[in-house]
Structure 1
């Protein structure tokens, strides 16, 4: 009988491999989606290298630039994220991905053609809107290409696009800028003269259309574990959209697990965004390093240890799921959090900057395990046709808490509690430890409800697939 089998020890049921596309094609899909994720961060981060020429040519203030970099982008990304997540749960996801890539790529390229701040602001909001569909759709697609006990590593590979894209934005962006500055202004037909910084947006944005074309050609996989289906014109069974009232009812019924897990990730993001924003300043003020020195070193740590941590987190989650079933990934997250505690004290309190880099590398490596664990943790909590919505909710919590509170909490601790900029290391320590305690508390509160929810979902999935197999047997 095609379908799933239950493990004797109660672990998560493991789907028969034939229920999924081939592993080779699944990894090809992961590669395409990861490349798209890299392009999204490349398009998102490139503006940070163009601040001064943009300010000069358009007469902008720092506040106007900051809106382009952060608030306008983030708010638009969050506002359209939930509606797009709903579409991901019922529509053809490969088309949504391709459309999103094309939209943000054209918006990025359009930034190189505008002559006013208002148009530039609108296009940056367009970049945020286009990118909002990628991660919910990518997580849902990857979940339908790999069985539950093997999905962690592919999701982790996708997640490293954050670190690769952010690094490439600096390396490739600087190279392009150097070339365009040498060549000077360009004259384009129908457009006229464009400045070197405008050329950068065109060069960075337009190649994304090729990625969109490849994504458009991807095959839409069968939705595994779908709870509702309808009969298509050709007689096949396809996933039907869950009524919104059913989605809300499901979330209310399992609110303890959902709220706890999302807050666990949100408080973890507060520490992550805060540390990333202030660690370079800590080394400058406390150890007397230059911005160039800590920038190069910290950037290298993020690129290497950050990428390695995400991949190891995905691998560890798969291993723990095979061994411990529904609790596997939460156990891994728990031990990673605990192991990080002495490292936080180490890099913030060691008086020698060179020695402090050793525990700092550890605090880059271990916390990024969560980037490899979190997508699979969320996926296990919901039926297939709620994956996009669930990921969108998680991203909303992470972005609002992490980006909204992380950097600001550390600054407030320095200004209002310690009243001394030189005490930045103690502010980082205090906020990091407080967020770690809060996140661990949320994880422990949601631990048993999460396991019960996952096991209930898996048992229901087995029952549905067994019924479907029986119905088609001769």
Structure 2
């Protein structure tokens, strides 16, 4: 049986040899309940993250700001602090109670989302968006670390895939909100709130999407901090930074393949999510709200299906002894989803473009198993930090440059707003094949590092 020892000040119990088949894993029903609660939190985070992009017109009018200033609220104010503060927050997650850290993060980003509704100036709205980013930075690194301690390796990919459904589900819900709820609320210029009085209707939307955060916090309190599994056997873990840096250096090839491959996929996915509604409007004359609704449905349903398919396939291959199964599934997602995504941008009708997107998204979202691969080759004491570094690189590349790259190509290479479809096709046609090549180059290094990590931890 695995020996257990309590780490002083961490509020967590350590199980050094997670590889022991007799390890006392939580009951499956409880573990899947935890996945469900974390999924709700992740979904809410994406709704809160994206809701501002649906309110550009009323915010511009109320605060008298430019498109550039709005873009900074949507992107930089959130993404910079989300990515940068993810690293120190993950350092805390590797040492402290992860459940409590997530509760604190949900409470913070919900409060900051509500604060966006009360912002009276551009500066205060910018600060509130920064707060949303800081709060959300606490979720995924800690959640991935927790799930790694709640599921055996041959079931972990499915669990993380279900958690990751929060990305397409949250993005899809936000798009659908933009087509229905937002329009309905904005039909009334002012809304009377108890104890506050009359306020602009757009401000109440931030309050509505922030409110579920309280329920999520209560649900999270029903989850216990899991036992920490998979610590290195060489002795008590070191808090010194060089140990972490040495780990990164030793696994630089495998981690480099994962980081670069996922960043290129993210470059395409974030760019597509940002520009597809506008693409339908410019290319086919469709209303942005209608395009956003149908694209939201595709993301929510197709994205969820793809994540579950990818996780199930990766688990089955891994159980059969395919050590690099997760990287292989990521490559497969590109090979199956890339061509229809590229074709979607070039279709002669909107209907055919939506059909191609509906085929592409379930395939492409199978790449989400990349975060599982990280957990497999990383000792417990570094998991949250490696995950945060992963999100830092992937989000900074994808969220920071994906939408911008497509816009730059449209403005400066093609110099024609109607050529947005060719910008989407060009980025897709270059970035996804390159990602597949890089992932393939990392197969052997990943399998080697997986064996070394398994030997060192159990």
Does the TM-score normalized on the shorter chain lie above 0.5? yes
Residue 446 (structure 2) aligns with: 450
* Cα offset, 1:431, TM superposition: 1.4
Higher-Rg member (1/2): 1
1:362 and 2:359 equivalent?
yes
1:68 and 2:73 equivalent?
yes
Residue 376 (structure 2) aligns with: 380
Give, in whole Å, the separation in 2 of the partners of 1:85 and 1:334: 28
1:84 and 2:85 equivalent?
no
Secondary structure in 2 matching 1:25: helix
Deviation string 1:133-171 (CA, Å, 9 cap, x unpaired) is: 100011111111101110111111111111222233344
Residues 17, 277 of structure 1: alpha-carbon distance in 2 compared, 3 angstrom cutoff: farther
* Cα offset, 1:375, TM superposition: 1.5
Give, in whole Å, the separation in 1 of the partners of 2:163 and 2:132: 20
| Superposition map of 1:186-335 within 5 A | 186-189=192-195, 193-227=198-232, 242-335=239-332
Residues 366, 404 of structure 1: alpha-carbon distance in 2 compared, 3 angstrom cutoff: same
Residue 122 (structure 1) aligns with: 127
Structure 1, gaps ≥5 residues long: 4-12, 231-238, 463-474
Secondary structure in 2 matching 1:368: helix
Residues 196, 149 of structure 1: alpha-carbon distance in 2 compared, 3 angstrom cutoff: same
Deviation string 1:185-236 (CA, Å, 9 cap, x unpaired) is: 32544x5653322222223213312311332342111111112799xxxxxx
Secondary structure in 2 matching 1:246: helix
Residues 183, 16 of structure 1: alpha-carbon distance in 2 compared, 3 angstrom cutoff: farther
Give, in whole Å, the separation in 1 of the partners of 2:243 and 2:101: 23
Give, in whole Å, the separation in 1 of the partners of 2:282 and 2:56: 24
CA-based RMSD? 2.5
Secondary structure in 1 matching 2:103: helix
1:394 and 2:400 equivalent?
no
Mean CA deviation greater in 256-265 or 142-151: 256-265
User: Quick one: which of 186, 191, 194 aligns to 1:185?
Assistant: 191
Give, in whole Å, the separation in 1 of the partners of 2:132 and 2:26: 32
Kept in 2, the 8 Å contact 1:317–1:329? The answer is yes
Give, in whole Å, the separation in 2 of the partners of 1:327 and 1:405: 29
Deviation string 1:29-76 (CA, Å, 9 cap, x unpaired) is: 111111111111122122233333333333333333222222101111
Deviation string 1:371-418 (CA, Å, 9 cap, x unpaired) is: 2x1110111120011111111111111111112222232233334334
Residue 339 (structure 2) aligns with: 342
Residues 357, 14 of structure 1: alpha-carbon distance in 2 compared, 3 angstrom cutoff: farther
Give, in whole Å, the separation in 1 of the partners of 2:84 and 2:226: 28
Give, in whole Å, the separation in 1 of the partners of 2:119 and 2:293: 33
Structure 2, gaps ≥5 residues long: 4-17
Deviation string 1:83-140 (CA, Å, 9 cap, x unpaired) is: 0111111111011001111111111122233322222211111010000010001111
Mean CA deviation greater in 275-284 or 39-48: 275-284
Kept in 2, the 8 Å contact 1:188–1:194? The answer is no
Instruction: Report the number of matched residues.
Output: 443
Residue 104 (structure 2) aligns with: 99
Secondary structure in 2 matching 1:185: strand
